[in-house]
Amino acid sequence: GQQVMQIPQYQHVQEGEDFTTYCNSSTTLSNIQWYKQRPGGHPVFLIQLVKSGEVKKQKRLTFQFGEAKKNSSLHITATQTTDVGTYFCAGGSQGNLIFGKGTKLSVKP
Amino acid sequence: EAGVTQSPTHLIKTRGQQATLRCSPISGHTSVYWYQQALGLGLQFLLWYDEGEERNRGNFPPRFSGRQFPNYSSELNVNALELEDSALYLCASSIDRGYEQYFGPGTRLTVT
């Protein structure tokens, strides 16, 4: 069946360093969504990308959707301790949303 | 606007018992999704309801079931509880299939 793979599973960074998580689908996606789950919290929707090659920015966060609409990335510039949490991508296909396993980010002050 | 609500917050059951978890979606949302999140793991899709019908089901045994009521609220039932069912159960709603999902705070189920 359709799979959405996300790497890395864990990432430990020093505050101020950059961070990137990657998402790859086995099939072409209609859209990609990104969510953030803070420790002890629930996933919160961050953004949706729909167009091939689309790039969107939210302050220090940059989201990209690949040209083939099979991969995506989330890049955080100059991480802060408030960025701690698990970042999930979710690929949309035929109305279904398939979540990746997430990347858990820890930031050392 | 009120968010997705879930009850109870915590639920403790013993092996073999049945658990019922409840979810109220955001007003105007017709799709409700259920996920299982075991400690430290990702989101495992359980069930999707829309307009009162089960639309899709994840790779879980039949003892995981649910329903959606006419007011779009939903219930997840887990029968014959096993120790490995201990997890955070998250409910999410969306305005329609494929749109962004809004998650509730979850129900922490502990099976002893």
In tens digits, chain A (109 residues) has pLDDT values of 678 999 999 999 999 999 999 999 999 999 999 999 999 999 999 999 999 999 999 999 999 999 999 999 999 999 999 999 999 999 988 778 889 999 999 999 9
Interface probe, candidates A42, A63, A106, chain B, greatest B C-beta count within 10 A: A42
Interface probe, candidates B88, B100, B101, B107, chain A, greatest A C-beta count within 10 A: B100
Give yes or no for a contact between A104 and A44, defined as CB atoms under 8 angstroms apart.
no
Q: What is the largest CA-CA distance in chain A?
A: 42
Average pLDDT, chain B: 94
* Residue of chain B nearest A98, judged by CA positions: B45
Q: Where are the alpha helices (DSSP H) in B33-102?
A: none
Element (H, E) at B46: strand B44-50
* 3-class SS letters over chain A: CCCEEEECCEEEEECCCCEEEEEEECCCCCEEEEEEECCCCCCEEEEEECCCCCEEEECCEEEEECCCCCEEEEEECCCCHHHCEEEEEEEEECCEEEECCCEEEEEEC
Name the residue among B32, B35, B73 with its Cα closest to residue B54. Answer: B32
As a whole-number percent, the residues of chain A with pLDDT over 90 amount to: 89
Quick one: pLDDT band at residue B1, thresholds 50, 70, 90?
A: low
The tokens describing B90, both together, are 């998250």
* Residue of chain B nearest A48, judged by CA positions: B100
Nearest chain B Cα distance for residue A46, angstroms: 9
Angle at B34 between CA B5 and CA A38, to 5 degrees: 65
- Interface touch A42/B106, C-beta < 8 Å: yes
